[in-house]
Amino acid sequence: MLKRGLNIPQAHLARASTRTFRSDLIGTDVWRMHNKDDLAEARAQQEYSDIMPSTVKVAITGGAGAIGYSLLFRIASGELFGKRQRVQIRCLELPFAMDSMKGVAMEIQDCAFPLVDGVYCTDDPDRCFEDIDIALLVGSKPRGPGMERADLLKQNGAIFTGIGKSLNKFARPGVKVTVVGNPANTNCLIAANNAPDIPMENFSAMTRLDHDRGVGQLAKKMQCSVKDIDDFCIWGNHSPTMYPDVSRCTIQGRKALAAIGTKCGEGEDAQTWYTENFMPTVQQRGAAIINARGASSAASAGNACLMHARDWELGTSGKTTSMAVVSRGEYDIASGLFYSFPVRCADSEWSIVSGLDIDEFSRAKMKKTEDELKAERDAVKDYLPH
């Protein structure tokens, strides 16, 4: 087993003990180092002896797939939690893909990344998830020709039931779980409900790719930097029913639609561009990429997964992003669904942005995607423990 923690001078520990730390959450060492709190200062005293924070164990399912391949090398290079955080990478694949997975592991080893404390490959989820801090659930059953969505939901239901049970039994109790494999929201619902000993709030599904697609489209329209865009969000399901919301979004400090109006050509207005161009583009972007390159978006999905997990741990610095998290009835969304909300992350936790005014147009869009998630929940009810 890997050693955890450092021998920190007692004086520093005594001073640090007067503060309240979230020791129940995994990954807080990462957060502490990022924010340079008292325990981080204590560790810094040993920096010149080349001692670094304890290793974080990150599990990735579907590691040999296109998204996993795009993701793994960035984790190994330190892009997930920074250039001082060691990681152990644990990859889960199906038996027929194990040779490919071993080849990827060989490539990671050949890169000689200084932060990597080993790459472990297995087709056994119990062994993959043992004592992990972070789980990135990239792998899922893809939709085949002629397959109905209900069939896809049920086949993934069986897969994510097993994953949830393995996480519950072998992962650390504070493990943070990000579901990428589609249908992501409902796969997350199934896994979370089959892991009763892990807080429901420690599960999330990725809508960061949809969020980033929306921000990218707005920046393209306005010919500005993505850094100029604030308070955009995605509501609902990671599916064509998602609602990309610009009602509170600002671009270079101006209301989004007002700013967009200055870039509209003759015969075009901002609202029409938003509803007839922007929204369908974001909602159907995945299909458009498949049509263009003959394969699904992998690099952008891997990037979104990385940014989702990083922001969750290290924070969004007050900025709003999008994550599918468990609803507790916020904005009248059915409790228990994993629904994408505007969120902010701080202190290794997410929080839904509260107090937003929801207009009639937004309410209708939010309801439509909620209804789809309810239907998906009902379709997989046999996989949800009562």
**In whole angstroms, what is the distance from residue 338 CA to residue 173 CA?**
20
Q: Both tokens of residue 289? A: 């990429």
Query: DSSP string of 292-328?
Result: HHSS---HHHHHHHHHHHHHHHH--TT--EEEEEE-S
Strand-by-strand arrangement of the 254-255 sheet: 229-230, 250-251, 254-255
How long is the chain? 386
Q: Which residues are registered as beta bridge partners of 350?
A: 345
**In whole angstroms, what is the distance from residue 114 CA to residue 96 CA?**
30
Told to judge if 211 belongs to the known catalytic residues of this protein, a careful annotator would answer: no
Question: Out of 34, 211, 238, 308, which one is annotated catalytic?
Answer: 238
**In whole angstroms, what is the distance from residue 380 CA to residue 154 CA?**
6
Q: What share of the chain is helix, strand, coil (3-state, %, to 5)?
A: 45, 15, 35
Give the dihedral sign, CA 262/264/268/269. negative
Cβ–Cβ under 8 Å, residues 193 and 384: yes
Q: Both tokens of residue 46? A: 């040993």
- CA-wise closest residue to 176 among 140, 157, 202, 147: 202
CA-to-CA dists, residue 324 to 149, 202, 233, 352, angstroms: 20, 11, 11, 10
**In whole angstroms, what is the distance from residue 88 CA to residue 98 CA?**
18
**In whole angstroms, what is the distance from residue 357 CA to residue 370 CA?**
18
Number of C-alpha atoms within 13 angstroms, CB side, residue 315? 12
Q: Any idea which residue has 């600002």 for tokens? A: 250
Catalytically active residues, by annotation: 238
